[in-house]
């Protein structure tokens, strides 16, 4: 009888050890999964952002332009953004070239502000881009016909995360119209 109760105690001990090992392995697996998820940064935005200017044509002393922002969400979660703004600066044919100060890292200074605004209405709290989707935003404006070069800049803030911003810029030569030079196709 003593032997049976000793066998029962040993069996109970083995079962309890097995349960403890199973619990420790489950906790270890959960920690490993969390570590892998955190390391992959799936919650981190994977957004490509480009800006462009389409020069449409000349009317009187103005050139009609379409300012374009292209966003592509390459991540796996939808991304919300706010304060989606643009700034178009330029140099006219009469302007002298010059470098800016420390604020623009002594780069070429496009000192004429041609247009400033937002790609989304001001009463929208935010906009979003779903995973795998490429979205274009546009704004139509005009610039003086004597503008020779433009610098288009776009900026936005991610809704998640404090002060996480994204910027894109592009420099373009303005085509000449009136039969001298056709706009790019």
In angstroms, the CA 45 to CA 77 distance is 8
Share above pLDDT 70 across residues of the chain, in percent, rounded to a whole number: 88
One domain for residues 53 and 2: no
Q: What is the pLDDT of residue 181?
A: 46
User: How many angstroms from the chain centroid is the CA of residue 5?
Assistant: 69
The burial class, CB within 10 Å (0-12 / 13-18 / 19+), for 83 is: middle
One domain for residues 70 and 33: no
One domain for residues 19 and 72: no
To which residue do tokens 């998820």 refer? 37
The CATH number linked to 85 is: 2.60.40.10
Between 94 and 163, the more confident residue is 94
Beta carbons of 127 and 81 less than 8 angstroms apart = yes
Q: What is the pLDDT of residue 55?
A: 97
Q: Output the pTM of the full model.
A: 0.74
- Here the tokens at position 132 are 């795998």
One domain for residues 101 and 163: yes
Closest CA to 52 of 169, 141, 157: 169
In angstroms, the CA 64 to CA 36 distance is 50
Q: What is the pLDDT of residues 97-142, one digit of tens each?
A: 999 889 888 899 999 999 999 999 989 999 999 999 999 999 999 9
The burial class, CB within 10 Å (0-12 / 13-18 / 19+), for 11 is: exposed
What residue numbers bound the domain in which 1 lies?
Answer: 1-40
Q: Is residue 14 part of a domain?
A: yes
Q: What is the pLDDT of residues 157-168, one digit of tens each?
A: 998 766 688 999
Q: Is residue 185 part of a domain?
A: no
Beta carbons of 37 and 52 less than 8 angstroms apart = no
Residues in CB range of 151: below 8 A, 6 or more apart: 88, 89, 90, 110, 169, 170, 171
One domain for residues 51 and 1: no
> For the chain, what is the domain count?
2
In angstroms, the CA 41 to CA 74 distance is 13
One domain for residues 112 and 31: no
- Dihedral of the alpha carbons of 105, 106, 109, 114, in degrees to the nearest 10: 10
The model's confidence at residue 43, banded by pLDDT at 50, 70 and 90, is: low
Q: What is the pLDDT of residues 48-67, one digit of tens each?
A: 999 999 999 999 999 999 99
In angstroms, the CA 31 to CA 26 distance is 9
In angstroms, the CA 127 to CA 153 distance is 19
């Amino acid at each position: 009888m003593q032997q049976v109760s000793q066998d029962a105690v040993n069996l109970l001990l083995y079962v309890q050890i097995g349960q403890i090992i199973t619990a420790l392995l489950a906790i270890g697996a959960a920690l490993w999964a969390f570590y892998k998820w955190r390391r992959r940064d799936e919650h981190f935005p994977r957004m490509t952002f480009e800006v462009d200017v389409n020069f449409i044509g000349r009317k009187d002393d103005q050139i009609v332009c379409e300012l374009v922002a292209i966003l592509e969400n390459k991540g796996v979660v939808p991304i919300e953004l706010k304060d989606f703004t643009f700034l178009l600066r330029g140099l006219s044919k009469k302007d002298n070239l010059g470098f800016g100060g420390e604020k623009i890292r002594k780069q070429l200074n496009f000192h004429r502000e041609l247009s400033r605004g937002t790609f989304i209405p001001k009463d929208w709290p935010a906009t979003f881009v779903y995973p795998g989707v490429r979205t274009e935003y546009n704004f139509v404006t005009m610039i003086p016909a004597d503008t020779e070069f433009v610098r288009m800049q776009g900026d936005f803030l991610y809704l998640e995360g404090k002060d996480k911003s994204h910027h894109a810029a592009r420099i373009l030569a303005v085509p000449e119209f009136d039969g001298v030079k056709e706009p790019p196709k």
